[in-house]
Amino acid sequence: MTVSPAWLPPCFAFLLGAVLGSFLNVCIYRIPAGISLSNPRRSFCPQCKTTVAWYHNIPILSYFWLRGRCANCSAPFSFRYPLVEALTASLFAAAWVAHPSLAVAFYWLLLSLLLVASFIDIDHLIIPDEITLGGTLAALLLCLAFPSLMGTGNHLLGLGLSLLGAASGFLLLWVVVEAGKLAFGKKRHTFDTPRNFVWRRLGETAELDFGEELLPWEEVFSRASDRLLLDCQTAEIPGHPPVSGTLQFRYDTLFLPDGSEKALDDLEEFRGTATSLTIPREAMGFGDVKFLAMIGAFLGWQAVLFTVFASSIIGSVVGMVGILLSRGKTGNLLPFGPFLALGATLWLLGGNLFCQWYFSRFSGSIFSAYVR
């Protein structure tokens, strides 16, 4: 009987990952835009809408062959396309090395969801429910059908352990979100010199324009109870005498210093001069809560703890660097989803083995008995 070379399965995994990475690029572009994944069936140029020929759609290679441009209109393509394909290919190969069995397909599915969620979060600061809720449901059903994924032979126990992982991920991050809102729910910016501002409505949304900085309305308000405070030297609001004092905004309502209020739908634009700004903020978005629940459903409660720990450390370092580089600018948002995805990936590729080794050094450790 001929034994295949040891390098053959990882190479196959790499090629499969590159091909699926091309589809993940489609998901990253189409899901936030509300475009069907199956209609149109073929990839197309975002600029000229021309269907991409199959020989111009070879993963990784075609981008460099075409020098990163559309073959029809020469519009530039984002370098993200080959990046996602190469990342998917590399992670698929690494997952095979870490889990050389049929169970690797389970982890390939998770890695695909992590990649799509991360890049959508980077672009749009959201993690769609199609990924989090759909991924959680898929993990539960797979663990019910194949309980060995959760380290047991009992189907109901496999489902129960997956549910426990999902519940632990959801509850842990929900507590963090609520505690963070209580402790850090507002951020105040005091200007060295008064700054001119313009508030303008943009259809169903709005923005606050400080010249060099824009605050998009949808990025400021996460809850119906959130309020933005703007301390004004003066503000010229249509249909109202000049205002001096604190303007309070809810997403759809303006509260004036005299106690009156105006529906923002009735205003198109107004301007003034502000001395300070207080922005409502969240510790993280609720999409992150559902995202960690999905990770827990795939990998179990132990992975939830590791993921939160690892992502918090990495996210803190990146966040501090971002603060230094932003030089005090307002409204800078850092998506946390990619850090959760990175923490889950580290667990999947060997973090569990690291924890086994680490906690085995402490005799009587409760945690070491449960790290698989």
Per-residue pLDDT at 329: 56
Q: How many domains does the chain have?
A: 3
**Same domain, residue pair 372 and 293:** yes
**Same domain, residue pair 141 and 227:** no
**Same domain, residue pair 305 and 240:** no
**Same domain, residue pair 129 and 190:** no
**Same domain, residue pair 33 and 167:** no
Residue ending a domain, among 20, 55, 85, is: 85
Residue ending a domain, among 280, 303, 335, is: 280
Q: How confident is the model at residue 370 (pLDDT cuts 50, 70, 90)?
A: low
Which residues does 137 contact at the CB level (< 8 Å), separation at least 6?
none
Distances (CA, A) of 181 to 185, 271, 280, 328: 4, 30, 9, 21
pLDDT in tens, 218-231: 888 888 889 999 99
pLDDT in tens, 1-58: 455 678 899 999 999 999 999 999 999 999 998 888 888 888 888 788 888 888 888 8
Nearest to 267 by CA among 303, 243, 291, 233: 243
Cβ(26)–Cβ(111) below 8 Å: no
Residue 92 lies in a domain: no
Instruction: Identify the domain containing residue 48 by its residue range.
Output: 1-85
pLDDT in tens, 170-215: 999 999 888 888 877 788 889 989 999 999 999 889 999 998 788 9
Per-residue pLDDT at 42: 81
What is the value of pTM for the model shown? 0.81
Residue ending a domain, among 85, 115, 145, is: 85
Q: Which has more pLDDT, 86 or 362?
A: 86
Per-residue pLDDT at 46: 79
